[in-house]
Amino acid sequence: MKLSPNVTSIGQMAHVAQEAGADAISLVNTFVAMSIDVVTRKPRIANLTAGLSGPAIKPIAVRMVYEASKSVQIPIIGMGGISTATDVIEYMLAGASAVQVGTASYWDPRATEKIVAELTRWCAEREVPRIAELTGAMQV
């Protein structure tokens, strides 16, 4: 694969990481964001910007997981806005082999425990014997 001087696409970056010896790729982190109070006209964030996480970023993150997974053979760990079992399944269908739950654990410390129970039920109801079979199984 020939890389352009400015490596910008997720697939290209994932490929570079794989070729450099990465065992797996985790994505995404937060997205740099801003918010302004329109009455006081002051920034809501003391540092002006901060990392946006949670459900709002999930569609962006799922797309990035999908693109990375199409470019590498190493496992992808997906994260960004996961709070339910169906969020996990969506990430897996996009190509993730594992996931992380971040922000949801702040509003419910038992979020991961509930997601695992929900995932078990989801798989049993649909006769999915191994959750791993969902990885990359999106039907286009």
Residues that bind ligand FMN (CB under 6 A): 29-30, 53-54, 57, 79-82, 101-103
Tokens for 51? 């990392």
Distance separating alpha carbons of residues 68 and 11, to the nearest angstrom: 5
Of 64 and 134, which has the nearer Cβ to ligand FMN? 64
Name the minimum Å distance from CB 140 to ligand FMN.
Answer: 26
Name the minimum Å distance from CB 41 to ligand FMN.
Answer: 27
Name the minimum Å distance from CB 30 to ligand FMN.
Answer: 5
Of 83 and 135, which has the nearer Cβ to ligand FMN? 83
| AA identity, residue 63 | R
The DSSP string of 68-86 is: HHTT-SS-EEE-SS--SHH
Which residues are paired to 33 by β-bridges? 50
Q: Are the CB atoms for 83 and 101 separated by under 8 Å?
A: yes
Name the minimum Å distance from CB 103 to ligand FMN.
Answer: 3
Residue number of the CB atom closest to ligand FMN: 102
